[in-house]
Amino acid sequence: MSQLPVEILSEEEVQRLIAHPDAADIFGLRDAAILSVLYYAAATAAEVTTLNIADIDWNDGILRLRPDLGRPRQVLIEEPLAAMLNHYLEESRKPLLAHGGGIDAGVLRAVFVTNKGHRVGVQDIRQILGAHGKGAGVEASVNYNTLRLSRAWHLREAGESPEKIQRMLGASGRSGRRLV
């Protein structure tokens, strides 16, 4: 069975995408933070939806991601991602929680929440990617996998070793090597 090719976004397209949400708005800031995690951490949509506050280790600069299947992985929090996450957590998350009304303990642990006080879901992330991809004028179809593979490609172009990129993606075995 052949796989459909995934388009790789240029670094300029990725930056336009991340910059598209209005960071002065609590929802725009949340969206920009989600897009940043998807790209800089090469996270899947499921990993973003399960991300908890305790998964961010500011002291060691580590983000712990838990995939649906497989083992959890740790990714270094690079400066652009650290700045965006910190800004979102300080300026947007609390107003979003307050906006939602009744909140349960599971939502209080979540990094990303909706305007209704729920944990952000995969469908929410699809909508965020679609809206901001189109709004930023990105021609390619934008999904989490586009951002993951674009990140891997950009790291490889910058001289990062295939093995390190594979570990970052949580890939193992032959299929992971094909990515880089």
pLDDT of residue 98: 83
Measured distance CA(148)–CA(72) in Å, rounded: 16
The residue with greater pLDDT, 98 or 144, is 144
* Phi, psi for 86 (deg, rounded to 5): -60, -45
- Give domain limits for the chain: 11-177
pLDDT computed for residue 170 by the predictor? 85
- Write the pLDDT tens digit of every residue in 73-89: 999 999 999 999 999 99
pLDDT at 6 over 80: no
Both tokens assigned to 135 = 């709004």
Given a cut of 70, is residue 111 above it in pLDDT?
yes
Predicted confidence at residue 103, as pLDDT, reads 67
11-177 under CATH 1.10.287.130, yes or no? no
Pairing outcome for strands 56-57 and 73-76: unpaired
Positive or negative, the CA dihedral 81, 96, 22, 25 is: negative
- Where residue 108 falls among pLDDT bands split at 50, 70, 90? confident
pLDDT of 1:
44
- Digit-coded pLDDT (tens) for 119-172: 999 999 999 999 999 999 998 889 999 999 999 999 999 999 999 999 889 876
Burial of 16 (0-12, 13-18, 19+ CB in 10 A): middle
pTM of the model: 0.90
Residues in Cβ contact with 4 at an 8 Å cutoff, skipping those fewer than 6 apart: none
Contact of 170 with 67, CB cutoff 8 Å: yes
